[in-house]
Structure 1
């Protein structure tokens, strides 16, 4: 069987992506085949297309790390899912396609009453945020967290989840996204281009600092984050938009007893990702089922408009998530 999919035969600008035909593979042990209805667009897709984030050797070279759709086939012996089940899933690649293989343990049920385009905005961001904000960062109710880039898919999800679990949220974003971040629940939204986030956050916390920083900027933000952290504070790095290198004041790490960690999601093992999915199902999915959390969709575009979707993401024009409609809308 053949299906439509997006390929990049060379690294470059968004225009290198082309809509073409490819083969549909059968699921191997532990896998399911999903008929894709919608696929989320994420920063790693941009970096892979540009040639700076190559896929793992055993992953599809086709872009796309999260989808929602219907189970089309299951491997022999797989009992967790049945053909026809509606799921959203983290995929190792290949999401920009009408069919995609992924691991059964990386699928989660579509919340009741949700459209598949909405569910497609969940996996990559919720896996990333839960793992880094809660599993690695240890965010607790009553703590104050600084979330950089609050207007994007990861940042907006982080704000919503932190608030849902009882934290106070400070975020940085562009001036155009301040109101959006406040609507999500941010207690303090700071225009990073015009305001000093260290000074304003210190004033907000009455000079006590924040207990956790979720950083996706890197570069010269690192020392500023360290300055703002409280004693025994934690910082989790998940991207480095301002550069991979930073001159760090090690004395601040020592004197404040700061814990600094970081991660990327895609290279983690099948087992590690399954553990994240299990925690999400127990602790976050009930909130989705009750309508207490829902991702903000900035745009849902046809698969054929993938170039436009990437350009919107690169230009920072989005508030929340951009999703590609791959199959027929539900």
Structure 2
């Protein structure tokens, strides 16, 4: 089968399209999927550049996958051949989405409504599920509150803005100046150009000095530490890229709650309930998409051959929205 393989672990430039990759076979609890579209993510280039992931066969990247069930394992009873599906692949699964066929565990995949095109479904599982878990499952925000969402023009941020609006929140987001109109279309009430250097001063001005009730930080521990300054008393913070430095505040200063998102670790930690939650998120997210309650981010559609160059663009921060590679 045709696939984009990583010839040399640690070298992004070693990604190579081949036509003789062996087709994966599903195990008892797995399904094989004919891949129609696969999404690109930062973890793809991060894994490609990591030198400590030697494996028994060459790795196929691609975490976000949408396609049609082609074969099922002997113990699978929740999918049939021909079902439309989408899912978040385990990082330990060497048969990823940048190939004509992929496999995954049946209890982590979701059926895809007919109304949702593969190109849209393939840019949801990593960014969309992360945003969903952060807003809907971790924060469970009260309507009327205010949230700061970093990087509103990115994958997680774009979905988070829309989920926050569904929950009745006022949304403040950061982005590049060129993306301000884009994040406003997604629903942001206020957009701040983070290159101007006055993000936290602007947030305090917008909230009359109180700060925000909720923060979604997808940037870094340093950024999350700065967020402590504008988190209102009793506020909640969700982090995806590292904890803030709590030595900057004293106990009782904030009365805050902190939530960590480690979405893909559900696969690697082996917790069946956490893994099954991925499918539950996908089931609900698919309904939101089918009902038009979540609009797609700006999607750039490319070919398999273009994946390496677009992973470099993603690494350099040159992508607005999401990128989907059409495999079929």
TM-score normalised by structure 2 residue count? 0.89
Kept after mapping to 2: 8 A contact 1:300/1:323: yes
Aligned-pair CA distance for 1:231: 1.1
Q: Quick one: structure 1 residues 58 and 147, their matched pair in 2 at CA, closer, same or farther if it must change by over 3 Å?
A: farther
Aligned-pair CA distance for 1:113: 2.5
Q: Quick one: structure 1 residues 59 and 122, their matched pair in 2 at CA, closer, same or farther if it must change by over 3 Å?
A: farther
255, 273, 295: which one aligns with 1:271 = 273
- Across the aligned residues of Structure 1 and Structure 2, the Cα RMSD in angstroms comes to 2.4
Deviations 1:271-291 (A, max 9, x none): 303124214424x33321211
Q: Secondary structure at the match of 2:37?
A: strand
Kept after mapping to 2: 8 A contact 1:67/1:91: yes
Aligned-pair CA distance for 1:250: 4.0
| CA distance, structure 2, for counterparts of residue 59 and residue 175 of structure 1 | 44
Is 1:25 aligned with 2:30? no
208, 211, 217: which one aligns with 1:209 = 211
Kept after mapping to 2: 8 A contact 1:30/1:75: yes
Aligned-pair CA distance for 1:62: 2.0
Deviations 1:43-81 (A, max 9, x none): 1112111217959x8998321111110000011132211
Aligned-pair CA distance for 1:137: 2.7
| CA distance, structure 2, for counterparts of residue 135 and residue 58 of structure 1 | 37
Q: Quick one: structure 1 residues 87 and 217, their matched pair in 2 at CA, closer, same or farther if it must change by over 3 Å?
A: same
Aligned-pair CA distance for 1:15: 2.2
Aligned-pair CA distance for 1:38: 0.5
Aligned to 1:87: 85
Q: Quick one: structure 1 residues 82 and 247, their matched pair in 2 at CA, closer, same or farther if it must change by over 3 Å?
A: closer
Which ranges of structure 1 fall in alignment gaps of 5 or more residues? none
Aligned-pair CA distance for 1:306: 0.9
Kept after mapping to 2: 8 A contact 1:143/1:167: yes
Aligned-pair CA distance for 1:142: 2.1
Question: Equivalences for 1:242-281 in 2 at 5 Å?
Answer: 247-252=245-250, 254-268=252-266, 269-281=271-283
Q: Quick one: structure 1 residues 53 and 248, their matched pair in 2 at CA, closer, same or farther if it must change by over 3 Å?
A: farther
Deviations 1:234-293 (A, max 9, x none): 1111125xxx8x6544425641112223232222134303124214424x3332121121
Aligned-pair CA distance for 1:212: 1.4
Deviations 1:21-55 (A, max 9, x none): 32122211221110000000011112111217959
Q: Secondary structure at the match of 1:190?
A: strand
Aligned to 2:327: 326
Kept after mapping to 1: 8 A contact 2:113/2:286: yes
Kept after mapping to 2: 8 A contact 1:44/1:53: no
Aligned to 1:295: 296
Aligned-pair CA distance for 1:294: 2.5
Which ranges of structure 2 fall in alignment gaps of 5 or more residues? none
| CA distance, structure 2, for counterparts of residue 316 and residue 198 of structure 1 | 22
Aligned length: 319
Aligned-pair CA distance for 1:229: 0.5
Kept after mapping to 1: 8 A contact 2:9/2:53: no
Q: Secondary structure at the match of 2:68?
A: strand
Q: Secondary structure at the match of 1:220?
A: helix
| CA distance, structure 1, for counterparts of residue 108 and residue 181 of structure 2 | 34
Question: Equivalences for 1:297-316 in 2 at 5 Å?
Answer: 297-316=298-317
Question: Equivalences for 1:100-179 in 2 at 5 Å?
Answer: 100-179=102-181
